[in-house]
Structure 1
Amino acid sequence: MNIIETIQSGVVQAVKSLYDADVTADSVTLSPTRKEFEGDYTVVVFPYTKIARKKPEQIGEELGQYLKDQVAHVADFNVIKGFLNLEVSDSFWAAFVGDIYAKEDFARLPANGQKVMVEFSSPNTNKPLHLGHIRNILLGWSTSQILDAAGYEVVKVQVVNDRGIAICKSMLAWERFGNAATPASAGQKPDHFVGHFYVKFEQAFKEEYKTWQASEAGQQVFAAWKADEKAVKKAEKTLDEKARKAMAKAEREGKGFEPAEYTLEKHFFGTIYKNTYFNEHSELGQAAKAMLLKWEAGDEEVIALWKQMNGWVYEGFDETYERLGVEFDKLYYESDTYLLGKDTIKTGLQKGIFYEKEDGSVWIDLTDAKLDHKLVLRSDGTSVYITQDIGTAQERYKDFGVDKMVYVVADEQDYHFKVLFETLKRLGEPYAEGLYHLSYGMVDLPSGKMKSREGTVVDADDLMAEVIAEARQNTEERDTLNDLNTEEREAIIRQIGLAALKFFIIKVQPQKRMVFDPKESVDMQGQTGPYVQNAYVRIQSVLRKGGEQDLQAAAEYATLETIEKALAGQLYAFPVVIQEAAANYDPSGVANYCYDLAKQYHRFYHDFSILNAESDAAKAFRLKLSQAVAHTLKAGMQLLGIEMPARM
């Protein structure tokens, strides 16, 4: 039974009968009635004023009466200006609940014959997964699950960034400061162990650079820069703006402001000259670059160290992914893909898609797409990032033949993906129209931003441990699981903690920057994962107490309470919620739907008796309704990668 299609068809018939005009069902604007008005669905009647040559209110009355008289399950109506609010019959909602209450996957859509690839996580192998990766992973995983529920065949992949100067920094630091230690000998999780040496390199580089700044050579470079009035004025302007922002932030947070941190010398060495020093003067920088050249040349010792340290990181990543409940269908490695795309550039050059400059570099002109001219191959023939991204997209199409590709990458790469997608279109790639960048904002903590080089990043493992600890404290305060053994109790606490983490992040629209607060995330009364879990647990308790019940009496329940109809309507909307979340690549719609359904059920549970209902028919119907809500909450949260405990 599809009540939406029934109403739309009814409106088509009504317009024909009343005004002798033809309209199509998909032109009928129909949406759920707003909470402040009576009704279940609202039809917008303004489009029919020209056809009927009547005022919207009169058209609404005429259409409403026709639908009430002629269309099954339209029980009543009211008109507010140009909006016709329709009330669906109790018998329809009762029959719907009776049809789906025992079906755990009633909202899952049939296969649509399309295949979509979702790329997410894609970490570097020089450090552990951190809070930023957590948002990426959760968005990627939940998007893939939602697309699967919407009927797509889904392929989950990641590109592991396992090469480059950052990886060489960790390797060099281990050679110099590691004393042949291993994760086992150090008693550290393997990816944390490797990340420690990345931080160690940056600390050593910082000390080296600090010493050089105070040297005669460093001061000469600074003096030469200060002689450039134009450069100094530009720097002073930037520095003043930074200082003003820092002072304002310090005042807001009640902290001290250090003017000495905003001098021209600190700005020059800290922002303007740092990369130049690394590339031209730093002994550590030269050693790291030399190691990268050896890796590219296939040096056996460097390759062996690279494989060993990356192997440690992969072991750590796998452990984190397992804790998060995440897995991939295929992993691509940048060490395999970084040379891809060159042949495509050469072919495209011959076809006139790209053009060559006098220095031999190859570019694409995207100005007609309001983008710019973009380098795709350097003058020495080496690739840039977009080159290998072109080649990797083509490789994936060969591997899987997908219709769509979704890239889950932070919003700082928005321009890059616009260029990539436009380039792939011009290359005539068969999947080019199905490319999507799931862009998301950064995640901060209440304490502020994180910096991986300085070792101030919150590791994913530490964050999971923190929210689980918060969940444990809350559980101990409520004293509800003491009758369980330690293993059972810890399993539930883990489910609650991970639900808090995942839900808090996923409920925010991806494009918005957000602050993750571990304490707020476990609040049993807030818009949180544990709040939704609690509604599910409450239902399980009701069903356990009710035991085996004969629910046939529910067929005699003729008049539903307003909140019962509202709950049935929310359940009815679940397939559409999945469709919209899949179409928009936005899991927050599912998260907020689950919260709203849980909130409505908590209210229903508070206001109406279930096991001691006023009649056997009411009891049977409410048990069916409760079971349908439980199945829907479990299915919805499962799409977000969240498990539902039987107890809390």
Structure 2
Amino acid sequence: MQQLEQTLKAALGAAIQTVFGTEVPAAQLTLQPTRKEFAGQLTLVTFPFTKTLGKGPEQIGQAVGEWLVANSPLVSGYNVVKGFLNLEIADAEWVKLFTSLYQQPAGAPVTTEGPRNVVVEYSSPNTNKPLHLGHLRNNFLGYSVAEILKATGATVTKANLVNDRGIHICKSMLAYQEIGKKERPSSEVKGDHLVGQYYVLFESVNKYQILHARELVASILQFFVEYKSLKYDIIAKEFIKQLVKDTLDNVDKEEKKDVAFAKFLPRLIRELRRLSKVKNETPLIRYFYKELDRTYRNLWIVKAQWMLRRWEKGDKLTWNLWEQMNGWVYEGFDVTYRTIGVDFDKYYYESGTYLLGKERVEEGLQKGVFFKKEDGSVWVDLKEEGLDEKLLLRADGTSVYITQDLGTAELKYQDFGYDLSVYVIADEQNYHMQVLRAVLQKLGKPYADAIYHLSYGMVDLPSGKMKSREGTVVDADELVREVVEAAKAATLEKGKTEGLSDDELAQLYHMLGLGALKYYLLKVDPKKRMLFNPEESVKLEGDTGPFVQYSHARIAAILRKAAEMGINPATDLSILPELPAAARELVQELGRYAGVVQEAARTFSPAVVAQYAYEVARAYNRFYTDIKIFTEPNETSRSFYVALSALTGRTIKASLGLLGIQVPERM
């Protein structure tokens, strides 16, 4: 199709040069598909040339159209609608295009000028919970973008960075340690689900504890406001009142109340302890100091932070529990990945990258691009980059997310020497990714500019937003089961299961369910937030995965019947009669495949491919409705229609394959 358009542009340029004596560069001649209500297949907009050629848009269109019909074998007819020159391409050109497409080997790369060595990082799960609906969009996007880039001939590595360390996994570990009672994964509860249950349990207990701690601190403030005694005079009454008030104010300012309490309570406890030793001070201060200290030490968030410190110091018991629980999660993840049909070429683990990240932080300090604050924490000033100051290392020496990301970026470059590193991460991390790139640029890393953040919108359900901490997320495993069941119900309702065994039916339902899920999540532009409706996704008609899959199954049935009737796909089309409009339209649609792949690779958007697959399926269904393949009296036409069906099936299969969707041969 691209070659046909280039040839047509050359003819248009010759027409304008001959008729008007003016040279117009091919780059200025923009062609677009002709609107369905007008005759023709390609349209030139003539409005932009009125000033250059000194004629009205309709005059230009009329003159150019007349010249093309008289002098170019490409054009068989034309019509002018205001400033639009609609061109009818000669059948011989469509036959030529079809022959070229039909003879191309399956899987031939679509050449582009894009990057040649790419790492696509996606999935990147935390090991404190199972995958959920948001993860599914991430996995499907990453897998599809990798496949699209592969289709351009690029060398692509699919990478998965597992967030296997940090406070999140320590929360699950702490809850399991406190009340786990040696529970293990089973056939009824996968390992990732079991660990996720303890994460939710931690947050429930943590929420109660923080509420209790705040009430205790508030009651201490109230006590000292109202306290009156003849026996004791609280020397530091005003100081304590202000200290307690400051603690509450600081906590209320923080988004994460548990982390804030863990940060601000120690100072209050230290001051109360100091004051409890002052002569003539009320012994009640000692009581409050002990009560607060006991409450602080029992906070699960504090215990989890202590556990993280022990892990970073290599404490054997902590590491044993960490390895055990992460092992359960990995086994659960592997089952889910196999079920949803995604894979990876390389795994990275934050536990293996954060130390290298710390080295980069030390490098930044030595270069003077990072700085230490009084408490020992390490920061970078990115105000000149339009960002802010960013924490790189905590005061206690433990790393933060950006620390390990610095290490991972370097490891990936050492392993693959990429010229593009794609990070598939939700748009809530836009700032974080800007910081990562800016920090690497400050460090002078050669791969800093090769980082690309494929930012995507969150997924909502009709019931509202999901929250991991509250256990209200839509579990990926459960969602897949639901869409498979919905696909089964929709298929049975349509009566599309004749002649299939039970095993074949089970495979079909799984294929359709996953196809529905993947297509629905990928057909929306990645940058847009989206609403996922499971019931709409599995419909066998309309803009859905099963509709496109069903179109392939229909074509496969046609090809089987053609083989049974001894109809071979046409190879000699020199005596082919006039093409029906539906066949012409289908060839034109099939010719767009290479351009679609190039556009999807350029924009990192599987939605471009999904829309194309749907348009091909629609074009074929119109063709199937208009053309009676097996009752066609002309043998050459009949063989051509079979060959055209075969090419359409191949194109649908290739397009859906780029989305990670399989196609059924029977349905």
Contact kept in structure 1, 2:41 and 2:86, CA below 8 Å:
yes
Aligned pair in 2 of structure 1 residues 288, 382: CA closer, same or farther (>3 Å)?
closer
Superposition pairs of residues 456-605 of structure 1, within 5 angstroms:
456-481=472-497, 483-547=499-563, 548-550=566-568, 551-552=570-571, 554-605=573-624
Q: Larger Cα Rg: Structure 1 or Structure 2?
A: 2
The residue that corresponds to 1:55 in the other structure is 56
State the shift of 1:132 in Å. Answer: 0.6
Contact kept in structure 2, 1:56 and 1:81, CA below 8 Å:
yes
State the shift of 1:211 in Å. Answer: 4.7
Contact kept in structure 2, 1:102 and 1:627, CA below 8 Å:
no
TM-score for the superposition, normalised by structure 1: 0.87
**One-letter code aligned to 1:587:** P
Can you list the C-alpha shifts for 1:162-203, whole angstroms capped at 9, x where unaligned?
A: 01111011112222222112113x742121121121122223
Distance 1:29 1:222 in 2: 76
Aligned pair in 2 of structure 1 residues 129, 65: CA closer, same or farther (>3 Å)?
same
User: SS in structure 2 opposite 1:611?
Assistant: helix
Distance 1:553 1:563 in 2: 21
Distance 2:584 2:447 in 1: 44
Bigger CA drift: 98-107 or 45-54?
98-107
Contact kept in structure 2, 1:498 and 1:642, CA below 8 Å:
yes
Total equivalences in the alignment = 610
Distance 1:568 1:381 in 2: 63
Distance 2:363 2:317 in 1: 37
TM-score for the superposition, normalised by structure 2: 0.84
Superposition pairs of residues 292-441 of structure 1, within 5 angstroms:
292-348=308-364, 353-354=369-370, 363-377=379-393, 383-441=399-457
RMSD: 3.0
State the shift of 1:359 in Å. Answer: 6.7
Can you list the C-alpha shifts for 1:69-109, whole angstroms capped at 9, x where unaligned?
A: 34342222233333332221111112322333365636631
Aligned pair in 2 of structure 1 residues 427, 73: CA closer, same or farther (>3 Å)?
farther
2:154 paired with 1:152: yes
Distance 1:599 1:219 in 2: 69
**One-letter code aligned to 1:124:** N
Can you list the C-alpha shifts for 1:304-329, whole angstroms capped at 9, x where unaligned?
A: 11111101111111111111111111
User: SS in structure 2 opposite 1:77?
Assistant: strand
Aligned pair in 2 of structure 1 residues 379, 443: CA closer, same or farther (>3 Å)?
same
State the shift of 1:355 in Å. Answer: 5.8
Contact kept in structure 1, 2:46 and 2:60, CA below 8 Å:
yes
Distance 2:391 2:13 in 1: 55
2:140 paired with 1:138: yes
**One-letter code aligned to 1:456:** T
Contact kept in structure 2, 1:598 and 1:633, CA below 8 Å:
yes
Contact kept in structure 2, 1:102 and 1:628, CA below 8 Å:
no
Can you list the C-alpha shifts for 1:595-625, whole angstroms capped at 9, x where unaligned?
A: 1111221222123211112422322221111
Aligned pair in 2 of structure 1 residues 338, 557: CA closer, same or farther (>3 Å)?
same
Distance 1:555 1:136 in 2: 49
Bigger CA drift: 374-383 or 389-398?
374-383
Distance 1:647 1:561 in 2: 28
Contact kept in structure 2, 1:91 and 1:558, CA below 8 Å:
no
User: SS in structure 1 opposite 2:106?
Assistant: coil
Can you list the C-alpha shifts for 1:510-541, whole angstroms capped at 9, x where unaligned?
A: 11111211111111123111111111111111
Aligned pair in 2 of structure 1 residues 425, 614: CA closer, same or farther (>3 Å)?
farther
Contact kept in structure 2, 1:122 and 1:160, CA below 8 Å:
yes
Contact kept in structure 2, 1:104 and 1:631, CA below 8 Å:
no
Aligned pair in 2 of structure 1 residues 375, 94: CA closer, same or farther (>3 Å)?
same
Contact kept in structure 2, 1:111 and 1:152, CA below 8 Å:
no
Can you list the C-alpha shifts for 1:149-172, whole angstroms capped at 9, x where unaligned?
A: 122111110110001111011112
State the shift of 1:414 in Å. Answer: 1.1
Contact kept in structure 2, 1:222 and 1:268, CA below 8 Å:
no
**One-letter code aligned to 1:92:** E
**One-letter code aligned to 1:565:** R
**One-letter code aligned to 1:604:** F
The residue that corresponds to 1:97 in the other structure is 98
Structure 2: stretches of 5+ with no match in the other structure? 226-240, 266-295
Contact kept in structure 2, 1:555 and 1:617, CA below 8 Å:
no
State the shift of 1:571 in Å. Answer: 0.3
Contact kept in structure 2, 1:553 and 1:620, CA below 8 Å:
no
Identity %, equivalent residues: 46
User: SS in structure 1 opposite 2:109?
Assistant: coil
Can you list the C-alpha shifts for 1:564-586, whole angstroms capped at 9, x where unaligned?
A: 11111110001101100110000
The residue that corresponds to 1:200 in the other structure is 201
2:294 paired with 1:284: no
Contact kept in structure 1, 2:8 and 2:74, CA below 8 Å:
no
2:460 paired with 1:450: no
Contact kept in structure 2, 1:190 and 1:315, CA below 8 Å:
yes
The residue that corresponds to 2:647 in the other structure is 628
Distance 2:498 2:644 in 1: 31
Contact kept in structure 2, 1:119 and 1:408, CA below 8 Å:
yes
Aligned pair in 2 of structure 1 residues 452, 361: CA closer, same or farther (>3 Å)?
closer
Distance 1:361 1:220 in 2: 32
State the shift of 1:627 in Å. Answer: 1.1
